[in-house]
Structure formats: C-alpha cells, structure tokens
Amino acid sequence: MILSGLNMERVILAYLFLGLGRRAFDMAMAYSVQRKQGGREINEFELVEQKLANMYTYLRTSRLLCDDALGGL
C-alpha cells in the first residue's frame, strides 16, 4: 500500500516536470520568433530549428513515458 502511494507520487512529479519542460519550450519558441538577427527571426536558422525540434522530441517522448507509467499503476 505504501509503495503504491509512492509510485503515484513519482508519476505526479513526472507530469509536473513535464509541464515545466513544456513551459520552457513555449518560452523558447516565443523568444525565437521575437528575436531577430540579420533581419531574420532566429528560428529560421538551422541550428536553432534543430535545437527546438530536439526539445519538442524530448517533450513528446517524456509525455509518452509518463502516460505509460500512469497506465501501469
């Protein structure tokens, strides 16, 4: 019974940090659209696009892991 409660807390914490990560991604996207360099938005540069794509991929995989952990309870 106690271990079951701890497992639920772990999943809740995972979702909490997933939400924080999503907020960080949203802020990074907004900044990359707002910031201009050389007359172009910085999200048009290949390196920034790649970093944002990696962030999104990590968020999606983390979400799937959280959903899988929740389903296992």
**∠33-34-36 over CA atoms, to 5°?**
90
- Alpha-carbon distance of 32 to 59, in angstroms, equals 18
- Alpha-carbon distance of 44 to 32, in angstroms, equals 9
pTM of the model: 0.86
pLDDT in the model for residue 1: 62
User: Looking at residue 33, which CATH number applies to its domain?
Assistant: 1.20.140.10
Domain range for 25 is 2-71
Catalytic amino acids?
9
CB within 8 A of 35, min separation 6: which ones? 41, 42
Instruction: Please give the tally of structural domains in the chain.
Output: 1
Residue type at 58? Y
> pLDDT by residue (tens digit) across 4-18?
778 889 999 999 999
